[in-house]
Amino acid sequence: MEEIRQVIREDLGKELSDLFIQFDEKPHGAASLAQVHKAVLPDGRTVAVKVQHPKVQRQSSKDIVVMEFLLQVVHWLFPDFAFMWLVEEAKKNLPLELDFLNEGRNAEKIADMLRKFNFLKIPKIHWDLSTKRILTMDFAEGGQVNDREYMRKHGINVNEISQNLGKIYSEMIFVNGFVHCDPHPGNVLVRKCPESNKTEIVLLDHGLYQVLNQDFRLDYCRLWQSLIKGDLKGIERYSKRLGTGDLYPLFACVLTARSWTSVNAGISQTPVTQSEDVEIRTNAALYLPQISELLNRVPRQMLLLLKTNDLLRGIETILQTRASSSSFINMSRCCTRAIARHKRNKSKSRSRRLRISLSECWSLCQIDLYELVLWLRSSTLVRWVFYLFSCLPYPN
């Protein structure tokens, strides 16, 4: 606590007791860079105060030097394993993560970008109590997104959470190109809103974002459209445009965590099986040198996306909603909108823009119709109606 008081004294110029009428000494959460304490402002508002460990700034540069040296040793001992990109990413991202003002700006930017999603909550930043080493925000209650028992206890629909999380990330990746890259369960809370009793997702820790350039984002959109449909020519074409070369089949499997057989059939058409998971884990070990080579080939933007995909897939696995049709439907909608918007922006002809908009509407209608068909197939009420009709006597 003395270190916490020292950082607050140095950065905010006041004693902790002058700023907060209550400050929990036990951290509400702790990690390698900082820890979070629950506190109460003089006006009675409850806030979360994220305080950076005082030695992190000085130590981080030494850590990167040590990491670089160790990875060079590994590469010398095992030439097939080239992981120097880890050092490059750490050099680029760690200074950003250590600047809490940057995290606050990211939080406000993504809250504005995704303001249409009423179920998404981003805690409000208190700028008068924030510095590069201190971030003060509204305190958010909730259970972690992987806590099925919490959801059961509070009447939260697991499928709704998974679907809404997919909507958030599809919008970030395919439409906005501004992606929260640390969606581990501690940073994604779920809760019932006390006023409306509606389910909400709270997104925390906005220090690590990836900005996708337009060409990369559009190629990534088209690649996912090809993966969902099982369009092998499209998979090859857009994977190669993302730098994979002849390793495009491996890239498709890494990106989707599906076997090449499932990729061939279209990942939206084939459910995930236990035997396929075993096959993937086995192949991950067998093809480690090729995976290392692949990671060195792809654009650096892809690395954090792969990490984000992996964390989201882990959440879906725990929630038992992995490879659900709703996630592919959300992705398809966002990809369709993103590509249509790009074509409209490029077109100077009004009639051409109109045709693009009509084509977009038709594609979105097809997706809506497909979603309706899936709902009808799974609806218990519809099955009962069909059953009752089948029991009616036929007229003579």
Ordered DSSP codes for 50-74? EEE-TTHHHHHHHHHHHHHHHHHHH
Pair of tokens at residue 321? 């909603």
Task: Please report the pLDDT score of residue 380 as a whole number.
Answer: 59
Task: Please report the pLDDT score of residue 347 as a whole number.
Answer: 86
Task: Please report the pLDDT score of residue 387 as a whole number.
Answer: 56
Is the pLDDT confidence value at 106 over 90?
yes
Task: Please report the pLDDT score of residue 61 as a whole number.
Answer: 86
Q: What is the pLDDT of residues 178-187, one digit of tens each?
A: 999 988 888 9
The average pLDDT across 333-350 equals 88
- Confidence bin at 333 (pLDDT 50/70/90): confident
Which range is least confidently modeled, 132-146, 240-254, 363-377?
Answer: 363-377
3-state SS class at 242? coil
Which range is least confidently modeled, 92-106, 123-137, 145-159, 266-280?
Answer: 266-280
Is the pLDDT confidence value at 265 over 70?
yes
Dist. CA 354–CA 331, nearest whole Å: 24
Residue 106's alpha-carbon distances to 111, 171, 225, in angstroms, are 8, 16, 28
67, 83 Cβ separation under 8 angstroms: no
Q: What is the pLDDT of residues 207-226, one digit of tens each?
A: 999 999 999 999 999 999 99
Pair of tokens at residue 104? 């606050």
The average pLDDT across 117-129 equals 96
Contacts of 193 (CB under 8 A, 6+ apart): 199, 200
Is the pLDDT confidence value at 383 over 60?
no
Q: Please, what is the average pLDDT of the chain?
A: 88
Place of tokens 């979070």: 36
204, 31 Cβ separation under 8 angstroms: no
Q: What is the pLDDT of residues 285-332, one digit of tens each?
A: 888 888 888 998 999 889 889 988 888 888 888 887 765 666 778 888
Pair of tokens at residue 298? 């792809």
- Confidence bin at 79 (pLDDT 50/70/90): confident
- Confidence bin at 364 (pLDDT 50/70/90): confident
124 or 287, higher pLDDT = 124
The end-to-end CA distance of the chain, in Å, is 87
Pair of tokens at residue 35? 């820890």
Q: Can you give the pTM of this predicted structure?
A: 0.86
Place of tokens 């999380």: 165
Q: What is the pLDDT of residues 154-164, one digit of tens each?
A: 999 998 998 89
Percent of the chain with pLDDT strictly greater than 70: 93
Residue 342's alpha-carbon distances to 116, 215, 360, in angstroms, are 21, 10, 12
Task: Name which of 24, 56, 31, 52 is nearest 139 in CA terms.
Answer: 24
Is the pLDDT confidence value at 396 over 60?
no
Residues with a catalytic annotation lie at: 182
Q: What single DSSP character describes residue 357?
A: H
Dist. CA 45–CA 245, nearest whole Å: 55
Residue 65 burial by CB count (10 A; 0-12/13-18/19+): exposed, middle or buried? Answer: exposed
Task: Please report the pLDDT score of residue 281 as a whole number.
Answer: 85
Residue 297 burial by CB count (10 A; 0-12/13-18/19+): exposed, middle or buried? Answer: middle
Dist. CA 50–CA 30, nearest whole Å: 9
Task: Please report the pLDDT score of residue 379 as a whole number.
Answer: 59
Residue 224 burial by CB count (10 A; 0-12/13-18/19+): exposed, middle or buried? Answer: buried
242 or 333, higher pLDDT = 242
- Confidence bin at 177 (pLDDT 50/70/90): very high
Residue 346 burial by CB count (10 A; 0-12/13-18/19+): exposed, middle or buried? Answer: exposed
Task: Name which of 107, 104, 135 is nearest 122 in CA terms.
Answer: 107
DSSP H or E run through 138: strand 134-138
- Confidence bin at 151 (pLDDT 50/70/90): very high
Is the pLDDT confidence value at 257 over 70?
yes
Task: Name which of 321, 332, 315 is nearest 167 in CA terms.
Answer: 332
